[in-house]
Amino acid sequence: MSTKARKESPKSANKKILRSKIVGLFNQNTAQALNYKQISATLGVTDADQRKMISEVLEELLKNGQLVESDRGKYKLKVRGGNITGTVHMTRSGAAYIITDEVEEDVYINSRNVNRALNGDKVKVYLYAHREGKRLMGEIVEILEQRERTFVGTIERSSGYYFMIPDNRDMPYDIFIHPRNLKGAVEGQKVVARITDWPASAKNPFGEVIDILGVAGLHETETHAILAEFELPYKFPASVLAQAETIEERIPEKEIRSRRDFRETTTFTIDPADAKDFDDALSIKKLENGNWEVGVHIADVSYYVRPLSEIDKEAYARGTSVYLVDRVVPMLPERLSNDMCSLKPDVDRLCFSAVFELNEQAEILHQWFGRTVIHSDHRFSYEEAQKIIETGEGALSAEVLELHKLASILRENRFKTGSFSFEREEVKFYLDENGKPTGVYFKEAKESNWLIEEFMLLANKKVAERIGKVKQGQHAKTFVYRIHDKPNTDKLLTFSNFIRQFGYTIKTASHKSIANSMNRLMTEVQGKNEQYVIESLAIRTMAKAKYSTQNIGHYGLSFEHYTHFTSPIRRYPDLMVHRLLDKYLNNAPSEDQKRIEGMCVQSSQMEERAVQAERASVKYKQVEFLQDKIGQQFEGIISGISEWGFYVELTENHCEGMIPMRDMDDDFYEYDEKNYCLVGVHTHRRFIIGQKVLIEIAKTNLAKRQMDFKLVEITEKETLPQKSQRPEFKSPSRRKSPGTRRR
């Protein structure tokens, strides 16, 4: 606490609060001119001294340029006079942020100035000249592109009228449903509804039911609701399933003869114990010259799924398999994903392979790409392979250990050249027979995971180089790349400043120094109170990876060329890569760049939806796990701070909930965005990210996947540096945190 803060007078503090309320009032009435009497009446101020203070605040706002005097004694907001376009991100309060590349920060829109725009809409925004605190403000003046107006929620009845209460916290309005538009839905059922109209005179939009998911609260209903919320399918069309049944399972002898045969080479898979879709296998053989031949064999989905077939069109629309807590929603029908394309042991399977000759130093001396046939000898779980690595004993132990040795060298070299290492614990749940969580556990990546990861990375990198790495003066053919841009400089500097309060530093002079120091940081925070918070924020400083025909390299891996080749059963871009690679290996001309880029955009969008659905599934199970623990106390760490409260992540299970600002009645708290904390106006009490607290479970809302906590006590005092040294850290947006996928 600074000396200045301790000496602040009650009058100064009251004026500060009054100023905040007056600015908020003008923000809610951007077009209206107000005098001090109108402001006094609206705020309920009758005391003469307080009314005088209102006049003083108005004069100050006029002098600093936030207000203009439109008539004698009447004031309005001063407008900036510029328009921008951007995408709407709604908050639960009805306010919004506009995400745009036209200004350096998100633009805040008061709920009264959203003008019927909804989450995901592309809009035109009129910027104001003033800021609220440090926030750039504006008003939505036109909706340029509407996102699909379908929502998931529960039907409720009130005074003879029906409403759908949306599940999504980004949809702050209930939808009015006329009885004739219920389509048979009844109160208490979860449905998918579409907005059909929103008259200017109506507070709420009007809509109609388009699908009934079932009784709210039932496990199956809520799972389908999560998929529907993110516009993801939960069942295959009959035509797709019918076509899958017509595919011939027997491999023609002619097809086998046209491929490179690996059936006599030792081959195996390593996957999660509960996996059914084995889309990659490794083979290893000692060559006469003493080198090793390692084959990365990937299920040849392109043999079975022909372009523009019903199965292909459905796979393209889905984009990816979706991994919820209790199930996988596959991209391909199970007859393909779990059977014909799955590289199960003891059966012949068709593959597209990347084969490498490596010496003992894991240097690549020769490489080959093409179609193959394999016969897997063994199926390992990660746990079984890990046991072999640790003990040196077990089936195919010599082969597993040799691959582990080569993978370790590849991994070490990758980090030396600037690859980042973000290893996060994966939250998992023990589920009973009804899908209800009975406990939480964490999965940590070990050497067996790294073994597979390194050879998948190698195959992805070398396939991308095979097409994209051309001689000077030549043009590479159109291809699908997995690209990852460098982090925003300001975000990186902000993160660097922030971690100093915990005693950590990173170097930002070059890519290699950033990667090396960031990897060192991830090691240093292991086991510390602030580990999970710093890991989360470190990931948020990074750009999102996506698919594109425009290759800019992969910053996080420090690869100039990178693609996704290794999972065509569960990722459509990998299927695209297989098809393009096969054509180009046979000297076909370059594909149309515009068409392939459009497919890349679709794939990136569907990947993002899948990540959001997977997070929602985890959140649902977290709330379900804690809903019978109301009143129990847990230790946690403040993991995020916003204007409406702060988030706490529980130490023992990583479940996250919020302590709402409205429940913090010991003081009037302000959101200090510059220093990323909440500050009590009178007590100067601070809540900062990384602080340890003891909380009580106060309320759970399973339908909205939300939890409210009650603060019991702060168990670790704030450790912010002196004011002059405090980092400027903008709130990490909870909408942008990237998901992580294996391989």
Give domain 150-229's CATH number out of 2.170.260.10, 2.40.50.700, 2.40.420.20, 2.130.10.30. 2.40.50.700
Looking at 559-692, list the stretches that DSSP marks H as alpha helix, in order from N- to C-terminal side: 572-585, 593-626
Distance (Å, whole) CA 158 – CA 277: 47
CATH T-level fold of 79-145: OB fold (Dihydrolipoamide Acetyltransferase, E2P) (2.40.50)
Domain with CATH 2.40.50.140 in the chain: 79-145, 623-725
The total number of residues shown for the chain amounts to 743
Tell me which DSSP letter residue 337 carries.
Answer: I
Predicted local confidence at residue 11, as pLDDT? 58
Do the strands 328-329 and 322-323 form a parallel or antiparallel pair, or are they unpaired?
antiparallel
Task: Give the pair of three-digit tokens for residue 609.
Answer: 């939806």
Residue ranges matching CATH 2.40.50.700 in the chain: 150-229
pLDDT at 104: 65
Residue labelled with tokens 């399972």: 249
Match domain 623-725 to its CATH number in 3.30.1280.10, 3.40.47.10, 2.40.50.140, 3.40.640.10: 2.40.50.140
Alpha-carbon distance of 93 to 27, in angstroms, equals 15
Which two three-digit tokens encode residue 260? 């490179």
Q: Cβ atoms within 10 A of the Cβ of 312, count?
A: 19
What does the pLDDT read at residue 13?
59
Burial class (CB in 10 A: 0-12, 13-18, 19+), 79: middle
Alpha helix locations (H) across 276-381?
301-304, 310-318, 334
CB atoms within 10 A of CB 235: 10
C-beta separation of 487 from 542 below 8 A = yes
The CATH architecture to which 3-77 belongs is Orthogonal Bundle (1.10)
Give average pLDDT by consecutive 10-residue segment, the chain, 743 residues: 42 72 72 80 82 86 76 72 84 86 80 90 86 78 89 91 88 93 94 93 93 89 90 92 96 96 98 92 97 98 97 98 94 96 97 98 98 98 97 97 98 91 82 90 91 98 96 91 88 82 83 84 80 78 92 93 98 98 97 96 95 93 94 92 88 91 87 78 86 94 89 72 37 33 39
Residue 534 is predicted with a pLDDT of 82
Distance of alpha carbon 49 from its chain centroid, rounded? 50
d(CA 232, CA 613): 8
Report how far apart the first and last C-alpha atoms of the chain are (Å, whole number): 47
200 by Cβ neighbours in 10 Å (0-12 / 13-18 / 19+) ranks as: exposed
Q: How far apart are CA 263 and CA 260, in angstroms?
A: 9
- pLDDT given at position 130: 67
- Residues with Cβ within 8 Å of 194's Cβ and at least 6 positions away in sequence, in order, are 149, 150, 151, 207, 208, 210
- Supply the pTM of this predicted model: 0.80
